[in-house]
Structure 1
Amino acid sequence: MSGRMLRARLGLRCCGTTAPQRTTGPCWQLYVAMAGRVSDWPVHTWPKSTEVPSIEEREAVLASLGFVLVDGAEWEWAEDTGPEYHPHPVRVSLSAGAEVLPLDGGVA
């Protein structure tokens, strides 16, 4: 494995996504923040649901994107409020992050 540590982010998209494809309604999205254009970041969107993807589901998606959690890394959860300009009442948003490394031959 490469020694280059990156950060994976998991968040509930309350109004759907616009990338990599447009979705409507709440869904969870996982991406790995990297150098370069955001549109080039590895990303996975789960089908419309508010149920948090399990640790096993997150690890499987990370592997499919070419990454693995750093040894001993845990998902760190954070709460925030959505922006006031959203088309619905301001509410708490939930997100998580974890340190990851590219797998050998991965996309990173």
Structure 2
Amino acid sequence: MTLPAQMSNSGGTWHLYVPLMNTPHAWPEYIWPRTATVPTIAERERALNGLGYESVPGDEWSWIEDSDIPGDPASPVRLIASVRVRPMLWGGSR
């Protein structure tokens, strides 16, 4: 089973989360305390591992731009990165 993990920045803080649709539980989420620097791939993987997930081997992070106000070219840009993840086996699989 694979799921998408996403990382976004709005207001300066980077958030990593695994959207779990159709569940009453809160989505697993990690928030970096710093505001400016984009988390490295190694930092993202450690955060995913802490949430119980790992990147699917061979998958790479992809980036898109979104805006707070669709269709408004003056709207602040929201960067969103995504990668496919899978639940880690107990004790880790790497």
Question: TM-score with structure 1 length normalisation?
Answer: 0.73
Aligned 1:16-95 pairs, distance under 5 A: 26-35=12-21, 36-37=23-24, 40-83=26-69, 90-95=75-80
**4+ runs of 1 displaced by more than 4 Å?**
none
Distance in 2 separating the partners of 1:40 and 1:61: 17
Partners of 1:91 and 1:32 in 2: how far apart? 24
SS at match of 1:40: coil
The TM-score, its normalising length taken from structure 2, stands at 0.83
Cα distance, 1:13 vs. partner?
2.1
1:97 Cα deviation after fit: 0.5
- In 1, Cα distance between equivalents of 2:36 and 2:15: 11
Mapped contact 1:6–1:100 kept (Cα < 8 A): yes
How far is 1:105 from its partner?
3.2
Displacement of 1:9 after TM fit? 0.4
Residue 5 (structure 2) pairs with residue 8 (structure 1): yes
Matched residues, number: 87
Q: Distance in 1 between matches of 2:85 and 2:45?
A: 10
